[in-house]
Amino acid sequence: MLVNDSLLRIASNVLEDSTIKSVLRSGSYHSRGWRILDRWAFYSPDRLLALEAQGEIVLLIRLLEQQNIEHDALISAAGLAQRANGLSEHEVLMGWGISTEL
């Protein structure tokens, strides 16, 4: 398996190897997406499996959408200012009304 000790460690215990490999091979996903996938696998493994059962592409599209939403909020000027003032990523996302759950 391509996954090292920290990269998609949780998700690799929930999802099919082919799904993990697709995420890692794709240039569309970066560390934010990988953290999201691990978060979903930790907090909602059954829902993540159900999403994967709808088709790998369905899961990958949903992950890409979430990655883009979170990334845009966190790198915005306001998001960066909030982080500089001591808010966690989770607090910033919640402040923007962005759900981190699957």
pLDDT range class, residue 1, cuts 50, 70, 90: very low
Name the pTM for this structure.
Answer: 0.90
Mean pLDDT (the chain) is 94
Res 2: pLDDT: 47
Question: What are the structure tokens assigned to 29, written together?
Answer: 């996903």
The string of pLDDT tens digits covering residues 24-73 is 999 999 999 999 999 999 999 999 999 999 999 999 999 999 999 999 99
Distance, C-alpha 1 to centroid of its chain: 20
